[in-house]
């Protein structure tokens, strides 16, 4: 399927567990992003990547790890999940990192940490 | 410190009337502004953008106005339709990445 996909769509995990959220895009966009959406905060950038093997922190990177070995994949790992990481996570891709270049968002992953 | 603010969490408008969604920002270095629309259980989708060198951009029923001196932008939807009911996010970008506002939930009443 063309576009940007995320898996799983829903995930429940326990505090302290490691969990990985997957993101895959078929456009060969250079830039990929991870956001979390929380009430009262809108979308906040966790990490972004300008190309394979190039990643950088966003506004709220603590507790998260990313990697990008292939252009099309950008997994997000919560090394030891905490309840404060309960959120909806969106992956996005774009041809550029700033400017009028729109971002294409995946459908989101709803993560609940118990 | 919220650099992009949407102070109205919700807005209700009658079908056929104008919807006006507002967004304020604090960083004068932002050079592009974008609006995204989000339906439940879906990711945001791009709606319209404007460069800081312009004060208006129009695309069909959607118009974005930018007032740089006031650091304010607004999205006008005319006429509003029930299918426009969604959460709208404004976003700003400059030398850093995109900064999103907290969103405004628009409900268009039939």
Q: Which residues of A touch B6 (CB under 8 A)?
A: 42
Q: What's residue A1's pLDDT?
A: 60
Give pLDDT, residue B1. Answer: 67
Quote the pLDDT of residue B96. Answer: 58
- Region B30-39: mean pLDDT is 94
Edge to edge, the sheet with strand B19-25 lists B4-5, B19-25, B72-77, B62-67, B56-59
The whole-number pLDDT of residue B106 equals: 98
pLDDT for the residue numbered B95: 65
The lowest-confidence range among A40-54, B5-19, B34-48 is A40-54
Please tell me the predicted confidence (pLDDT) of residue A40: 82
* Measured distance between the N- and C-terminal CA atoms of chain A, rounded to whole angstroms: 33
> CB–CB of A61/A51 below 8 Å?
no
Q: What is the pLDDT of residues B75-96, one digit of tens each?
A: 999 999 999 999 999 999 876 5
Distance (Å, whole) CA A109 – CA A104: 15
d(CA A71, CA A114): 33
pLDDT bin (cut points 50, 70, 90) of residue B66 is very high
Report chain A residues whose CB lies below 8 A from the CB of B45: 105
Residue B74 at interface with chain A, using a CB cutoff of 8 Å: no
């Amino acid at each position: 399927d063309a576009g940007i996909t995320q898996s799983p769509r829903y995930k429940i995990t326990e505090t302290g567990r490691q969990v990985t959220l997957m993101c895959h895009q078929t456009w060969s966009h250079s830039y990929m992003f991870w956001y979390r959406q929380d009430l009262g905060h809108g979308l906040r950038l966790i990490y972004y990547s300008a190309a394979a093997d190039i990643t950088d922190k966003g506004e709220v990177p603590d507790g998260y790890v990313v990697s990008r070995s292939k252009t099309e994949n950008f997994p997000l790992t919560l090394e030891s999940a905490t309840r404060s990481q309960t959120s909806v996570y969106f992956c996005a891709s774009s041809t550029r990192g700033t400017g009028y270049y729109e971002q294409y968002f995946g459908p989101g992953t709803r993560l609940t940490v118990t | 410190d919220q650099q992009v603010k949407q102070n109205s969490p919700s807005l209700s408008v009658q079908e056929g009337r104008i919807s006006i969604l507002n967004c304020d920002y604090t960083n004068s270095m932002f050079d592009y502004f974008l609006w995204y629309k989000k339906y439940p259980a879906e990711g945001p989708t791009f709606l319209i953008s404007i460069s800081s060198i312009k004060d208006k951009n129009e695309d069909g029923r959607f118009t974005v106005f930018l007032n740089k001196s006031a650091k304010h932008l607004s999205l006008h939807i005319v006429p509003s339709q029930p299918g426009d009911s969604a959460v709208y996010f404004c976003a700003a970008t400059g030398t850093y990445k995109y900064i999103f506002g907290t969103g405004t939930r628009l409900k268009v009443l039939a």
